[in-house]
Amino acid sequence: MSKLLGIIFATCPRCHEGHIFKPGLPGLVTMNDHCAVCGLNFMREPGYYTGAMYVSYFLGVGTILPVATYLGVYAEWPLWIVFAIVLIQTLLSMLIFLRLSRTIWLYFDHTLDPSKQSPHS
């Protein structure tokens, strides 16, 4: 349960206290380099968050495709309205999925190999 709450609130996968993203409006997409509590390095190497793209793609398809299918097939809305709604949904969810996918990726990697990162590295 603590991992799920940690992902939702974007806290450190090691200590569940430090924040992954910076506070305030710039913190919507700006990450901290390290955990302020335990020192876990969030920016491990160039290209580290490439895997988060796959998570983001999965989240996007998993949320946008059902809406488009329902509106286009079952509700029988005109195609241009379905496209407009999907476009708006995509643009609004981009920021949410950026944060969420990076947090999920960080938790996934830390779960698979927590020994890679020594405290205060």
**Three-class DSSP category at 28:** helix
Residues 116, 106 contacting (CB under 8 angstroms): no
To 5 degrees, how large is the angle CA 46–CA 32–CA 30? 80
Helix 50-69 and helix 79-112, axial crossing angle in degrees, nearest 10 = 150
* pLDDT given at position 96: 83
**Three-class DSSP category at 38:** coil
The DSSP 8-state label assigned to residue 71 in this structure reads I
Residue 114 has pLDDT above 90, yes or no: no
Question: Which one is predicted more confidently, 120 or 27?
Answer: 27
Please name the residues in contact with 112: beta carbons below 8 A apart, sequence gap of 6 or more: none
Give the tens place of pLDDT for each residue, 60-96.
999 999 999 999 898 889 999 999 999 999 998 887 8
pTM score, two decimals?
0.81
Query: Average of pLDDT values for 20-41?
Result: 85
Domain boundaries in the chain? Answer: 2-116
Query: Average of pLDDT values for 101-105?
Result: 94
Alpha-carbon dihedral angle through residues 64, 66, 70, 73, given to the nearest 10 degrees: 100
| Pairwise CA distance, residues 39 & 31, whole Å | 14
